[in-house]
Structure formats: structure tokens, C-alpha cells
């Protein structure tokens, strides 16, 4: 499947955007969910997000699509 121009723009934005400095300002209870077998977004990214969000919790599902 070929990515659309919009998908490519979204990927470019995702790779260039860094919001880590804003995470400590989040005051809402947060649950960060990752997929253990995700090929496009590693579950480690969800774990790092959880560390950056004060008082948040993390859950990982055994779902997703493994890399081939």
C-alpha cells in the first residue's frame, strides 16, 4: 500500500514534533496504552510517554502487527 501525500505529511510532522517539555504540565489522570506487537509505534514509546506524564499509568496489550 502506497502512502498518500497526507500520510507522508503526518509522518513528517510526527518525526519533527517534540512535546516532551510540555508533558509535566498535564494535570489530568492519564492512561498510556501501547501494543506489544506494534510494528509502526514501538511499545517503548508508550512507556517513555508514561514516564513523562506525572501520575500516569501504562498498559500494553499483546496485540498489534509484528514486523515481518
C-alpha span between 68 and 46 (Å, rounded): 22
Of the pLDDT bands very low, low, confident and very high (cuts 50, 70, 90), residue 65 is: low
Helix (H) or strand (E) segment spanning residue 57: strand 57-61
Helix (H) or strand (E) segment spanning residue 50: helix 43-52
Average pLDDT on 2-30 reads 92
Instruction: Quote the pTM value.
Output: 0.66
Count other Cβ atoms within 10 Å, centred on residue 34: 22
Taking Cα atoms as reference points, which of 16, 27, 10, 23 lies closest to residue 52? 23
CB 34 within 8 A of CB 8: no
* The pLDDT of residue 68: 53
pLDDT of residue 66 exceeding 60, the answer is no
- The tens digit of pLDDT for each residue in 17-61 reads 999 999 999 999 999 998 888 777 788 888 899 999 999 999 988
Amino acid at each position: 500500500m502506497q502512502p498518500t501525500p497526507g500520510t507522508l505529511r503526518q509522518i513528517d510532522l510526527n518525526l519533527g514534533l517534540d512535546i516532551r517539555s510540555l508533558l509535566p504540565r498535564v494535570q489530568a489522570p492519564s492512561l498510556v496504552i501501547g501494543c506489544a506487537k506494534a510494528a509502526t509505534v514501538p511499545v517503548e514509546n508508550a512507556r517513555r510517554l508514561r514516564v513523562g506524564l506525572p501520575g500516569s499509568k501504562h498498559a500494553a496489550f499483546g496485540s498489534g502487527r509484528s514486523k515481518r
